[in-house]
Amino acid sequence: MGKEDTMRVTFRCQRVAATVAACLALVVALLPVVARAQSALNDVKKRGKMIVGVKTDFPPFGSVDAAGTNVGFDVDVSHELAKALFGDPNKLELVSVTSGNRIPYLQSGKIDIIVATVTVTDERRKVVEFSDPYFLSGALLLVPKTSAINDTKDLNGKKVAVIQGAITDQDIAELAPQATRLKYGKVTEAVLAVKAGHADAFAQDDILILKLAKDNPDLRVAGKPFQPRPYGIAVRKGDTEFIGWVNAQLKRMHADGTYDRIWKKYVGEFESHLLKP
């Protein structure tokens, strides 16, 4: 073998070695992700607290009261999960999330679980594991008291406030394709847009719109609920152990009356407008 042949063989070997090293590095990098998805529940147990993503601008599911305390339907469910796991409902850390950042927070490890009005969709199933439904919600419109808008068909040519990352953004695009969708990060921003006349309507989940209309006498609910879908609790994709445990707790809460107590406490006054899972 000549010198040039030797050099070619050496170069090829170096390339193969580099490729193998790169593959091994990728496998090593992915191992923690795989392990985390498979053992999140054990990680939570070892840590001694559950880190839960909840909303803080979505009453009656998640908000902050005058004392600065997280309150709401989802907050109570979160406390019940902590109680089931640790025997103490306060063994949890509540992290404020929005419709836009809740799944990235979960995937990045900032939170262990999402209990934050996550509508179950086929697209989202590709990136998270969903629990059995724990709430069913359609969407409604919030408009000024004097508005002529009474249905989604009246939205074409109008400006409609939606929350970035919320499924209602897609719904309005389909149901009122000629409407201009104004995307906001927070519910409070969308409500202020309607009040200030920057938006003609705000489209969001029925329970939130009902609550906002009650708390804002200058606004009203328009139309009937559209596109009803379930809410699900979400954990990282592939974490079947964790989501199986969550489903067991939801069944227990239905069986022992805990779910009914939370339902009555937060949404009982709107019961005639809602579907109960």
Residues 116 and 243 occupy one common structural domain: yes
Q: What is the spatial distance between Cα 147 and Cα 6, in angstroms, rounded to a whole number?
A: 83
pTM beyond cutoff 0.85: no
pLDDT for res 203? 98
User: Domain ends where: 228, 243, 263?
Assistant: 228
Rounded CA separation 42/38 (Å): 9
How many structural domains is the chain composed of? Answer: 2
Predicted local confidence at residue 211, as pLDDT: 95
The pLDDT value recorded for residue 274 is 80
178 with 114, same domain: the answer is: no
**What is the extent of the structural domain holding 205?**
138-228
**154 lies in some domain:** yes
Quick one: 169 and 101 in the same domain? no
Average pLDDT, the chain: 89
Clarify whether residues 64 and 94 are in a common domain.
yes
**Helices in 131-239 by DSSP H: which ranges?**
167-175, 187-196, 206-215
Give the CATH number for residue 146.
Answer: 3.40.190.10
Q: Look at residue 1 in the predicted model and tell me its pLDDT.
A: 55
> Which segments in the chain show pLDDT lower than 50?
3, 6-7, 9-11, 13, 16-17, 20-24, 26-37
The torsion angles phi and psi of 17, rounded to 5 degrees, stand at -60, -40
The answer to whether residues 123 and 254 belong to one domain is yes
Tokens for 155, please give them: 């939205």
Collect all residues with Cβ–Cβ distance below 8 Å to 164 and sequence separation of at least 6: 98, 99, 100, 183, 184, 185
Return the number of other C-beta atoms located less than 10 Å from residue 151's C-beta. Answer: 13
Q: CA dist 268 to 100, 132, 207, 276, Å?
A: 28, 21, 11, 11
Tell me what pLDDT residue 33 has.
47
Query: Quick one: which of 232, 52, 53 has its CA closest to 131?
Result: 232
50 & 91 share domain:
yes
Same domain, 101 and 222: no
25 within domain boundaries: no
129/179 same-domain check: no
CA–CA separation, 151 and 140 (whole Å): 9
In a domain, 3, yes or no: no
Residue 9 lies in a domain: no
Listing DSSP states for 74-140 in one string gives HHHHHHHHHHHHHS-TT-EEEEE--TTTHHHHHHHTS-SEE-S--B--HHHHTTEEE-S--EEEEEE
Q: Are 245 and 171 in contact (CB under 8 A)?
A: no
Backbone φ and ψ of 230, nearest 5°: -85, 150
Instruction: Answer whether residue 29 is part of any domain.
Output: no
